[in-house]
């Protein structure tokens, strides 16, 4: 059996749609396990958060990033490239969570080293289930940098 980590998982949600942000936050709350969810509304703010600049100087390092593709100022593809080209940040898992089903977006995201690409369902129940599954994988199954896990019988 897998022992629980000692601190709440930190999730960075990068999305400019307030409705999607609210639904994703609610989905994470329904899971019941403690999560620290940090929300930024565009790619430039995401990079500032990750590099701890400006108002984000005390930002924690996230355990996982949920990244929308289509945002103003700096889109998700640019954020993905920026993070995965930075030796200090590239080990943070990034799940592209977007409405796009375009094969070109899927291919470009994986080419930029996204860890997963998930299309957002258009209804609350579907989105809740998708977020639960992503959370379950990263919180309970995957080994993450900086999060110690031990196996018990």
Confidence bin at 142 (pLDDT 50/70/90): confident
**Residue 143 pLDDT more than 90?**
no
Q: Considering Cα of 12, then 17, then 23, then 26, what sign does the dihedral take?
A: positive
Residues contacting residue 137 through CB under 8 Å, at least 6 positions apart: none
Q: Does residue 18 form part of some domain? A: yes
Q: What is the pTM of this model?
A: 0.90
Q: What is the mean pLDDT of residues 121-130?
A: 89
CATH code of residue 134: 3.40.50.2300
Domain residues for the domain of 98 are 9-141
Total number of domains constituting the chain: 1
The strand pairing partners of 144, in sequence order, are none
Residue 152 lies in a domain: no
Residue 25, in any domain of the structure: yes
Please determine, for residue 149, whether its predicted confidence score (pLDDT) is greater than 60: no
Average pLDDT over residues 48-72: 95
Q: Is residue 2 part of a domain?
A: no
Average pLDDT over the chain reads: 89
Tell me how crowded residue 37 is: count the other CB atoms within 10 A of its CB. Answer: 17
Confidence of residue 4 (pLDDT cuts 50, 70, 90): very low
pLDDT digits (tens, 9 = 90+) for 27-50: 888 877 778 999 999 999 999 999
146: in domain: no
Kindly state whether residue 150 falls inside one of the protein's structural domains.
no
Domain assignment present for 106: yes
pLDDT at 124: 85
Q: Does any domain span residue 71?
A: yes
């Amino acid at each position: 059996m897998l022992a629980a980590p000692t601190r709440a998982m930190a999730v960075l949600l990068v999305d400019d749609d307030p409705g999607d942000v609210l639904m994703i936050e609610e989905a994470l709350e329904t899971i019941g396990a403690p999560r620290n969810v940090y929300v930024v509304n565009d790619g430039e703010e995401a990079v500032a958060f990750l590099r701890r600049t400006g108002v984000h100087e005390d930002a924690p390092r996230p355990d996982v990033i949920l990244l929308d593709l289509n945002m103003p100022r700096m889109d998700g593809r640019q954020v993905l490239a920026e993070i995965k080209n930075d030796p200090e940040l590239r080990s943070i898992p990034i799940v592209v969570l977007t409405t796009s089903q375009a094969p070109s977006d899927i291919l470009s995201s994986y080419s930029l080293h996204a860890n997963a690409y998930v299309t957002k369902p258009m209804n609350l129940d579907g989105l809740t289930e998708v977020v639960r599954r992503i959370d379950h994988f990263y919180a309970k199954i995957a080994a993450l940098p900086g999060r110690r896990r031990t196996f018990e019988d």
